[in-house]
Structure 1
Amino acid sequence: MPEAYERHLVPVLFRPFATDLAARAAALRPRKVLELAAGTGALTSALLTAAPTASVVASDLNEAMVAAGSAREPRADWQQADAQELPFEDGGFDLVVCQFGVMFFPDRPAAYAEVRRVLTPQGRFLFNSWGPLSTHGFGAAFQDALEQSMPGRAPAFLEDVPHGYTDPALVASDLEAAGLALDTADEVTLDAVAASAASISTGFLTGTPVSAALESRRDARTIRASVTRRMTDRLGSGPVTAAMTATVYTAHRPD
């Protein structure tokens, strides 16, 4: 899954926002940065380029992602870590960043409390999360194609998880419960450009947990072909472009 994720999804969906988030991080002039849910290192690389004097610890719960990320971006210190039980000392970082990872935390206030613990008193927490699925051109097209190909049986992963944490009021409440204060919530819309609809379809089908929902099915090959065909019919052949919206949050320790 990390290979498909890196090849088909990272350049299209994640690098544009990594550039945005890294620029925001660099403006804070951090010295020690902890990245949560670093995946294969899209934001990690952007951070090290935008803030070359900062030291970066990149962490992820998934061991395969840590292995892939450390091979692609060896300038960072990579560690496997659970965001809800961070293996780092108190007050060790002046910036904690997370790109499209908070939606996956089972207990967000618990994870945010860990962020607060490892931040310096003047530290900042910078992160983003996707907007509703309807505001993501490629994600919405994929989910529609999946539902048409599997009527009544399509996995709801995209809507429930990556696009399931979209209310800034809820984010602010979760942060407050962890002892953090929300500073800003900026809605950002960027364009995603893919080599083809088939490439994006392959990324979602094989580089996300949707793959696990299909792999045991006897008709998995037929479903994959149907999804790819429907996405191509909707988006067109050749290079394709779609808008995607996320919210970027900054928070701090109020003490």
Structure 2
Amino acid sequence: MGAGSPTSPDAQFHAGIAEVYQRLLVPMIFEEPAEHLARVVAETTPSDILETAAGTGVLTRALAHSCPDARLTATDLSESMLDTARGQDAGDVRWRQADALDLPYGDEEFDVVVCQFGVMFLPDRVRGLREARRVLRPGGTLAYTVWDRIETSEVPWVVHSALVTATPHEPLDFMSRLPHGYFHVPHLRDDLEEAGMPDATIRSLAGTSRTTAAEAAEAFCHGTPLRLAIERHSTMELEEATRIAEDALRRHFGPDPIEAPTRWIEVVARRPA
């Protein structure tokens, strides 16, 4: 999801990334958490939902199914991601380009703000949480997910380890640093408290990613901002990185298909009434 500021290169998504993201990453790692988070939101019986960092709309589509009577607004910083999302069948959704750090909405407009795997990309996470609180009505719900430590999600861990090993003097550590770098529960609670939302339930959830070695290598190297890190690297080329990742996956998992554990953290916080 394109959650960062326009000047943050680690969170940029161009059209090529968005296409691979939707085609390969969404079914591999995003659909299962989206369905779970949508059920959590549905339990609040919302009337007005704002989604930030919506990406290509995997959670948006799950929310449209789980909350058919709610007014659903989906935003993302990246127009490329939104263009891909608009091409999916999400129903009656209000799509809008927006920065999660400076939402273009008035105070207390929504009873739910939801974000799947976007908060960790925010250059200022507390500011983003405060913005969510600002647009929430009193008693409203903020629900979001972040990835657990990278070692608990086996496929990205294998890709990450192979690329870091291959680049010892300039490590390609994007995956552990950002997507899987915001998982310490005390840190999550501190940020929520600083943002004025200390009443929160935080839990770790487990799922299964299903893929092949070739698809997973392409997904992470071509369909995430890791691609930008590779393209900026002084010695590594994109196709070489993809080959290294695929070879490592085949050595680790053996013949296709791959079924591997994945783990994420789900946060549900309430704005004080």
- TM-score (normalised: structure 2): 0.89
Q: Quote the sequence identity (%).
A: 35
Residues 234-249 of structure 1 correspond to what in structure 2 (within 5 A)?
Answer: 234-249=252-267
> Residue 126 of structure 2 aligns to which amino acid in structure 1?
P
| Cα distance in structure 1, aligned partners of 2:167 and 2:82 | 33
Cα deviation code 1:141-193 (max 9, x no counterpart): 11112123333333111101011111111111111111112321111011111
- Spell out structure 1 runs of 4+ moving beyond 6 A: none
Instruction: Report the equivalent of 2:130.
Output: 113
Taking the TM superposition and a 5 Å limit, the aligned residue runs for 1:39-118 are: 39-72=55-88, 73-118=90-135
Whole-Å Cα distance in 2 between the matches of residues 219 and 143 of structure 1?
A: 14
Matched residue, 2:34: 18
Residue aligned with 2:146, SS? strand
Q: Which runs of 5+ in 2 are unaligned?
A: 1-16
The separation in 1 between residues aligned to 2:236 and 2:58, in whole angstroms, is: 34
Please tell me whether the aligned partners of residues 172 and 181 of structure 1 are also in contact (alpha carbons under 8 angstroms): yes
> 2:11 corresponds to which residue?
none
Match of 1:153 in 2: 170
1:76, CA displacement in angstroms? 1.1
**Aligned residue in 2 for 1:163:** 180
Which one-letter code corresponds to 1:142 in the other structure? Answer: V
Q: Report what 1:7 is aligned to.
A: 23
Q: Distance in 2 between matches of 1:117 and 1:87?
A: 11
* Partner Cα separation in structure 2 for residue 166 and residue 218 of structure 1: 31
Does 2:251 correspond to 1:210?
no
1:219–1:252 Cα change, 3 Å: closer
Query: Given the two structures, how large is their TM-score scaled by the length of structure 1?
Result: 0.95
In the aligned structure 1, how far is the partner of 2:26 from the partner of 2:190? 30
Q: Quote the Cα distance in structure 2 between the aligned partners of 1:159 and 1:152.
A: 17
2:49 is the counterpart of 1:33: yes
Of residues 174-183 and 154-163 in structure 1, the stretch that sits farther from structure 2 once superposed is 174-183
Number of corresponding residues: 254
Residue 197 of structure 1 aligns with an amino acid whose one-letter code is A
Gaps of 5+ in 1: none
- Give, in angstroms, the shift of residue 105 of structure 1: 0.7
Contact 2:145 2:266 in 1 (8 A): yes
Question: Quick check: 2:217–2:243 contact (8 Å CA) kept in 1?
Answer: no
Q: Is the 8 A contact 2:207 2:261 kept in 1?
A: yes
Quote the offset at 1:45 in angstroms.
0.3
SS of the residue aligned with 2:38? helix
Q: Does 1:223 align with 2:241?
A: yes
Q: Which amino acid aligns with 1:25?
A: V
Task: Confirm or deny: 8 A CA contact 1:149 1:227 kept in the other structure.
Answer: no
Query: CA deviation digits over 1:78-123, x for unaligned, max 9?
Result: 1011111100111110000000110011111111111111001121
The amino acid that maps onto 2:36 is D
Aligned counterpart for 1:233 among listed residues 246, 251, 268: 251
| Per-residue Cα deviation, 1:55-75 (whole angstroms, up to 9, x for no partner) | 110000111111111221352
How many angstroms does 1:236 deviate by?
2.0
Matched residue type, 2:137:
T
The answer as to whether partners of 2:64 and 2:91 remain within 8 angstroms in 1 is no
